[in-house]
Amino acid sequence: MSSLQGRTLAQGVTLAPLSEDVEEWGGAREHDELFELNFGPHHPATHGVLRLIVTLQGEVVVEVKPIIGYVHTGIEKTAEDKSYWKVIPVLERMDYLSYYFNAMAFCSATERLLELEVPERAQYLRVIHLELNRIMSHLVWLGTSALDLGAISIFWYCFREREAILDLFEMSSGQRMHTRYFQVGGVIEDIPRGFERKLRQFLKVMPARADQYADILNANEIVLQRLRGTCPLSAERLLALGVSGPLLRAAGVPWDLRKATPYSSYERFDFKIPVGTAGDNYDRYAVRHAEIYESVKIIEQALDGLPEGPHITPDRKVSLPPRHELATSMEALIHHFKLVTEGFRVPAGEAYVPIESPRGELACFVRSDGSSKPARVHMRDPSFVNLQALSEMVRGSYIADMIATVAMLDPVLGGIDR
Amino acid sequence: MLRGEQIEGPVPGAHPDEEGVQPAYLQSGRPTSSDGEALERYVQERVLTTTLEKAVSWARGNSFFPATFGLACCAIEMMSIVAARLDVARFGFEAFRASPRQADLIILSGRVSTKMAPVIRRIYDQMLEPKWAISMGACCSSMGVFNNYALVPADHFLPIDVHVPGCPPRPEALMHGILKLREMVQEHPQRGWRERYGALGTEELLPGAERAGAAVEVFREEA
């Protein structure tokens, strides 16, 4: 491996020349010796339990090899052992920052196998919660990434807004995380009284708060120097590696499944897809930050146009009968009993449904053999696919930039390892 | 004495010869001599050692240094106890330490896989004593909703002091767990993991550490 010092790298970074007194410190004059560094699985900058084997030449990264599996939970295998509606809470815990998306992908795949129509009100309620979840996920990402860059106050601001969103989740479902709000055929319950007022309050505040984050970060010299121009990757390479989501959009490709293959009435909402130009770390940050505003817009439209009607499919073979029917209708009691004990049966077949999660294309593949349990559940998790671009992004840049890149990659290890 | 109480006049019982009457609490026979000097020494020793222990426990319980160590979903809720709403800094537990060498509390926040368990054990071993462990959430207490081949309950490889139930627990629940741990450390310092597991005397000491300081000597004596 030849020395990289003094050369201008592809991204326009000129590496500092070595100082003369390196030999006095016991170092080699030329950093042509490779050094392997173990990074993780317990490291505060890895966003979980990611382990990286970093090969360094001096301070420059030559190669990165991610080692995963430290939170392998056997989620896909466990899903095969449960009836369809009991799979939802297990899958929700996969990518633990986008639990609504995990549930949405699985429910959509099951609905496709059942050829089930989701009522409009349920679709709108789903959109509201999906977009709230997207904002929440981006807030956690922004707070923790800023911590990695050395900015600590932004963490508290982001988590303040996150609590407001979790309060809304708690209102509609009773849980802060892993809400199990989405159900095959719709949502489990209609939104309670007062939810709309609280949500509108939040929507009024959120754009101003996002402006505050921008005020803190966009004028910060340290943040700019660590993000601008660091570790870019071209759109061609990103596409070749299968990268999707904000990382791809930062390189200028306006690929968003909400626009490309609209699902759950996304075609009715007016929103923009933020794209970057350079595909560097700053664009990755800016795209996600801009998405917060777009999500707010979508929720506003969904809330204004929220149609009346049932919140879950009236098909009693799939959805639980309302509580009051159990006291009066024998048929409802039988349906309830069948659903709770055995669950509903799904016709044999396969379905693959991709949706746009905060990290990219999240998809669920379900194969049914006609029984009440799925024969195979596979999740295409965006973090897993995006992680393989890390090596190409950071090759030839400083190790400090690798920290920033891992932060901007936004991997969620629960989704990678499953 | 720590509270700075002013004792007016002769200390009762300090010089029983002057009064000619021995206080009832001394008649139980604990001090072998009712001589004034020996008694005073006895009282001073007792008072000093107990209050010192209490003071140390009080300080320990009020300033846990948790390790920055997240595993899965619970880690996000663990982060939010530091944030504005709960602000665990009110109780003095906000200083999360990235190095296990500087931490004395490990919060296992999430599911522990078979691949991760040895790593966690190693991190725990690297922490300095006295140290405590909280198992947060259903997964690392009982394998939770998954309960399959991939997971290990934390009790199988770590001495856990407090289990916090929930999936994930609310931040309030975690804070309650930490406060319970504080209560244990302050009120019942003898319930540390070495005492519970009968592991006194297994402390690892570097060769020549006996000369290093009094703290090591005390440890040795207890063992």
Q: Which CATH number goes with the domain that contains B168?
A: 3.40.50.12280
Per-residue pLDDT tens digits for A136-151: 999 999 999 988 888 8
Higher per-residue confidence, A360 vs A1: A360
Give me the torsion for CA of B203, B208, B210, B216, rounded to 10°. -40
Q: Do A413 and B115 touch (CB under 8 A)?
A: no
Helix/strand/coil for A351: strand
CA distances from A94 to A188, A414, B110, B147 (A): 20, 5, 12, 15
Main-chain phi, psi angles of A62, to 5 degrees: -95, -40
Q: Do A71 and B70 touch (CB under 8 A)?
A: no
Query: Considering just the CA atoms, what is the radius of gyration of chain A in Å?
Result: 24
Nearest CB to A160: which of B83, B119, B148?
B83
Measured in angstroms, the CA of B220 and the nearest CA of chain A are apart by 32
CATH number where A373 lies: 1.10.645.10
Q: CA A338 to CA A332: how far, in whole Å?
A: 10
The answer to the question of residue B18 being in a domain is no
Q: CA B159 to CA A303: how far, in whole Å?
A: 50
The answer to the question of residue A118 being in a domain is yes
Question: Does ipTM exceed 0.90?
Answer: no
Spans in chain B with pLDDT lower than 50? 1-16, 18, 214, 216-218, 223
A82 near B CB under 8 A: no
User: Can you give the pLDDT at residue B26?
Assistant: 53
A167 near B CB under 8 A: no
Residue A400 pLDDT > 70: yes
Instruction: Give the strands of the sheet with A34-39, arranged side by side.
Output: A34-39, A51-57, A60-67
Domain enclosing residue A241, as ranges: 75-383
The 3-state secondary structure of B139-159 reads HHHHCCCCCCCCECCHHHCCC
Per-residue pLDDT tens digits for A168-193: 999 999 889 999 899 998 998 899 99
User: Can you give the pLDDT at residue B206?
Assistant: 62
The answer to the question of residue A39 being in a domain is no
Measured in angstroms, the CA of A6 and the nearest CA of chain B are apart by 34
By 3-state DSSP, what share of chain A in percent is helix, strand and coil, each rounded to 5?
50, 10, 40
Residue A58 pLDDT > 90: no
User: Can you give the pLDDT at residue A114?
Assistant: 92
User: Can you give the pLDDT at residue A295?
Assistant: 94
The answer to the question of residue A415 being in a domain is no
Nearest CB to B71: which of A71, A78, A156?
A71
The answer to the question of residue B136 being in a domain is yes
Residues of A in contact with B75 (CB under 8 A): 48
The answer to the question of residue B82 being in a domain is yes
The answer to the question of residue B171 being in a domain is yes
Domain enclosing residue B126, as ranges: 73-186
As for how many domains chain B has, the answer is 1
Residue A365 pLDDT > 90: yes
Measured in angstroms, the CA of A152 and the nearest CA of chain B are apart by 11
Confidence of residue A132 (pLDDT cuts 50, 70, 90): very high
Interval A9-14 mean pLDDT: 55
Q: CA B89 to CA B103: how far, in whole Å?
A: 16
The answer to the question of residue A67 being in a domain is no
User: Can you give the pLDDT at residue A269?
Assistant: 92
Residue A362 pLDDT > 90: yes
Q: Do A49 and B85 touch (CB under 8 A)?
A: no
Q: CA B131 to CA B100: how far, in whole Å?
A: 10
Q: Are A252 and A275 in contact (CB under 8 A)?
A: yes
As for how many domains chain A has, the answer is 1
The answer to the question of residue A212 being in a domain is yes
Q: How many helices (H) and strands (E) does chain B have?
A: 8, 3
Q: Do B80 and A163 touch (CB under 8 A)?
A: yes
**pTM reported for the whole predicted model:** 0.82
Give me the torsion for CA of A14, A20, A24, A30, rounded to 10°. 50
Q: CA A259 to CA A244: how far, in whole Å?
A: 14
Give the helix/strand (H/E) hosting A325. helix A323-328
- The DSSP call for residue A56 is E
Residues of A in contact with B70 (CB under 8 A): 48-49
Q: CA A220 to CA A306: how far, in whole Å?
A: 41
Among candidate residues A292, A248, A284, the one with its CA nearest the CA of residue A139: A292
User: Can you give the pLDDT at residue B20?
Assistant: 53
User: Can you give the pLDDT at residue A3?
Assistant: 46
